[in-house]
Structure 1
């Protein structure tokens, strides 16, 4: 079940931080780069962020989350999409992404992931995202920026 995370609730913040550590550690291993910004976040950093977070709950356990920021009223940056590794390949990431894509006023959705993170790239491309550019964020470490442009009829 997807619901907005209460970023003032200590237990929610602790679960989010733990989830983020587990999920982004996998990406760090794939990329061979351990300075991924979410891995450096503290619980206080999460509490202070302006991103809006939504989580996938399995009972009382947070097993997936997505965050975004509205750049303009019609452009959404999807900042984080994470699933606990023991819940991979259960459709949680897809459902969280589709949830964000339902935002009616948004015409451009933006997201980024490591070029070597093939599972994430496949998910984003399956949901209609297209590569815009690649950016070298450290020596030999590339980030791929993708956009999904909505057409309204």
Structure 2
């Protein structure tokens, strides 16, 4: 079940951080880069974030979350994080579906997201939702991020 998280609450922010650190450590190993900014987050930085956080609960526990920011008619997905114990259980799918449905009839006409170019599972997931890679940016020698977008007019 998806629901809005109050990331300003210290206990909620701690839950978010715990899952985030576990998941991003795995991504860091996958892409061979431990400089992912979210690995440096703290409870305080999450509490101060301007992002909207939506959590997915499984058996009464936070299994994952998505965070985003809206600017004009664009929604930028900032984080899509799943607890490693819940990988391949549909958590990321559920969170993406929730966001897409929530803004289906809104002014949002473009969704954006970025991920490590070597994060094949994440890129595959976003492509399943109609996201199209449009740019790669090298952030460190041999390490790049893939920028993806989905226009609302796309099915």
Establish whether TM, by shorter chain, passes 0.5.
yes
1:115 aligns with 2:117: yes
* 1:74-130 deviations in Å (ceiling 9; x for gaps): 100000001011100011001101111121321100001111101000000000000
TM-score, reference length from structure 1: 0.95
Q: Which runs of 4+ in 1 moved over 4 A?
A: none
- Match of residue 63 from structure 1: 63
The alignment yields a C-alpha RMSD, in angstroms, of: 1.1
Partner of residue 153, structure 2: 151
Corresponding residue number in structure 1 for 2:37 = 37
Q: Which residue pairs with 1:126 in the alignment?
A: 128
Q: How many residues align?
A: 151
Gaps of 5+ in 1: none
Rounded to whole Å, the distance in 1 between the matches of 2:94 and 2:8 is 25
Aligned to 1:140: 142
Q: What is the SS of the residue equivalent to 2:112?
A: strand
CA contact (8 A) 2:115 2:123 kept: yes
Counterpart Cα distance in 1 of 2:123 and 2:12: 28
**What's 1:94 paired with?**
93
**Structure 2: gaps (5+ residues):** none
Contact 2:31–2:116 (CA under 8 A) maintained in structure 1: yes
